[in-house]
Amino acid sequence: MAAIFSLLGSKKWIILDGSAGISRTGSGAPTASGAKKSFGERIDDPPTNVTSGDSHGNRRVTLTANPGEPLRRSSPLRVVDIWSLPGFTELKALGEGGFGRVVLARHDVSNSVVAIKYLFRRHLLDPARLAAFRREATILSRIHSPHVTRLYEFVETPEGAAIVMEAVRGISLREVLAADGRLEPEGALAVLKGSLLGLADAHRVAIVHRDYKPDNVLVGPGRESKLVDFGIAVLAGEAGVPVGTPAYMAPEQWEGLPASPSTDVYAATCVFFHGVTGRRPFEADSIETLRELHRDAPVPVELAPEPVRALIARGMAKAPTGRPFGAAEFVAELEAAAIAGYGEDWEERGLLRLAQRAGVLLALSPLALLGAGTAVAPGLAAGTAAGTAAGTVGTTAAGTAAGSVAGTAGTAGTAAAGVAVSGKVIAAIVGAVLVAAAVVVAVVVGTAPSGANGNPPPVAAGTTSATPVALVVDLPTRTENDGTFDVSAQYARVSGIGDPAVQQRVNAALMAPLDQWIGYVRQGVNGPEQNGDIPHVHNEVKIDRQDRKVLSVQYTLTVDSAQFGNHGAAGVRTINLDLATGRTLTAADVFRDIAKSAQGMSLLSQRILARSPGGFCGGTPPVNDVRGLEPGDLDPYTPAGTGALQVGFAKDGVTFVVEASALGYPMVCDPTEIVVPYRDLSDLMTPEARALLL
């Protein structure tokens, strides 16, 4: 996200390449909560003297706009439609429409692969188009969900405007339906649940999508779905001209009435009907007839399987008051219907079949070649052939598809597909607290081979080894709401380990960081926020390594409440597991033989700093007396902040997660990640660690 500074007087915005929250003052003007030194790094105080550049390499341009006037600068704009954001190398064009174009690009410094949505330069002179583009970025900046494509930056200069967002690898639901006709009920329910969870996170911040359709639902080989394209989203309660895709528009949308979360529930149910039956709920030769059908005709639930008919009737009720108020409420009803109709394991079976189908379709797509040729950043590469890195999933819709009604500025265009297998961390630091956001949101390493029925093959009779046979790691979402705060957070879960007791230990360890964070929030929360809202717990999950011996997972956990600091609180927790025993491996386990030795700890510090010439804070000077690493720094990390050093395991090295503030650096440095090759550390490891990791 970009840092946007508001100055008094005429609207003069200074747009920096940076990572900061887009907030608003009482007058509605954007304000800044920080600016970056580089992609993924922040400086505490934005400079007051603005020039064309600074010592950190930020590119700064002053744009001036009086009310009702286009952006201007001292020299006239030369309108040329094709403009590229400096610092990125374009890899592939993904789509183009009336608003502009979408490309896949790699950040030149971090190697992270992203999708960039460019506004055509001619639209810089159109206040309505430019405002709509800014609005899309602002809306995306407010939504934090593992089921929604992330915004990284919004950049605006006299040369052009761009939204830098998560690139995703997978297939749109539209493509799946075009290939297969329809989905098995369990698969359709799994897609609906994932989408509802993403919509629920949007609804929590008063955002209504308004254009939920198969093009905007992404299905990937990682057993997950993701929601994209908030180009025509609005604040709940806003009204306007009919906007959306006719086949899935709620009756109130046709009338231009205020949008509400139940508007999205209607569209999601229409798409679910399409998925489970192979046809749209209503079809007509004219827009006017289609309007009448959505408004007055009975929903043809008899075409759907009997166990989901009541769910469809409820979600497609003509009056908004007849539907669940929002997506979160509908999830509970979906779960009940799915279990009653298809058993307790409906979601597991549905996700597995979707992943297998998405993998096949991706393999037939040019995107598969692009994904294979894209550099995987350190920390994401998967271990052995038992698991392959599957970055974030999906296709990115460049805008509304043909047939959209009154598409607003910035949404027309063709659907575009994107691939990303980068695992770089792009850190967004707000205030003095770090909120580390992994680029990878929905990673699964290793897809189980299937038997004839599409399910994982059974373990051979007589097998007693705890070694994984067909290890699968998936990322289900945990949702809770006790009235004082709510939770929508992913956790890693494994299946396919031969010994059930070991698998249970592994899964308990993988759930523990989320349990601990929820306990930390429960102890600290003291009623609702000043605005009446409640705190929200979210997280990101990154798989660093998965092979037949080791699983290494990193959680970034957040709570967005001022009760935990000016901008909430965040913590990073790494979990490393010996898959043969289910034992958790800590830094103290790996470096046990040197942990009691000051000389050994000094040697470890030297090896780490050799890979980070700028020190433990990337060149930022300390605020206190700097100390070296001590044996106590290897103690297990807790939400209270004990333990200055955590380790994670990648394919080729150890990722050290350093709480630099414990060593004398400012809190803005927490945490710093430094990857050191195994070959540089093997002599400091215990023999057991070497056997397991090398």
**536: number of Cβ within 10 Å:** 22
Handedness of CA 477, 218, 213, 143 (dihedral sign): positive
Q: How far apart are CA 688 and CA 691, in angstroms?
A: 5
130 DSSP 8-state letter: H
Q: 517 is written with which tokens?
A: 């964070």
Q: How far apart are CA 445 and CA 450, in angstroms?
A: 16
Residue corresponding to tokens 């007087």? 9
Query: Which helix (H) or strand (E) element contains residue 191?
Result: helix 185-204
Q: 240 is written with which tokens?
A: 């306007």
Per-residue CA distances from 127 to 11, 70, 170, 233, 234 (Å)? 13, 6, 35, 18, 18
Query: Which helix (H) or strand (E) element contains residue 291?
Result: helix 287-296
Coil, helix or strand at residue 518:
helix
In one-letter notation, the amino acid at residue 148 is V
Q: Residue 232 half-sphere exposure, CB side, CA atoms within 13 Å?
A: 30
Q: How far apart are CA 679 and CA 528, in angstroms?
A: 51
Residues with catalytic roles: 211
Residues tagged in the binding site annotation: 117
* DSSP annotation string for 634-659: GSPP-TT---SEEEEE-SSEEEEEE-
Cβ atoms of 639 and 522 within 8 Å: the answer is no
Residues tagged in the binding site annotation for ATP: 117
Q: How far apart are CA 340 and CA 206, in angstroms?
A: 32
- Nearest C-alpha neighbor of 189 from the set 21, 45, 346: 346
Extended strands (E) in 418-462: 425-430, 433-438
Q: How far apart are CA 142 and CA 163, in angstroms?
A: 14
Q: Which residues contact 587 (CB under 8 A, 6 or more apart)?
A: 634, 643, 645, 646, 647
Per-residue CA distances from 541 to 147, 195, 221, 555, 598 (Å)? 12, 18, 17, 5, 34
Cβ atoms of 393 and 420 within 8 Å: the answer is no
Cβ atoms of 676 and 628 within 8 Å: the answer is no
* DSSP annotation string for 73-121: -SS-----S----TTEEEEEEEEE-SSEEEEEEEETTT--EEEEEEEPG
Per-residue CA distances from 56 to 3, 35, 60, 206 (Å)? 15, 11, 11, 36
- Nearest C-alpha neighbor of 531 from the set 143, 237, 208, 205: 205
Residues in a beta bridge with 570: 558
Cβ atoms of 419 and 369 within 8 Å: the answer is no
Query: Which helix (H) or strand (E) element contains residue 208?
Result: strand 207-208
Q: How far apart are CA 630 and CA 621, in angstroms?
A: 20
Handedness of CA 80, 85, 91, 96 (dihedral sign): negative
Coil, helix or strand at residue 232:
coil
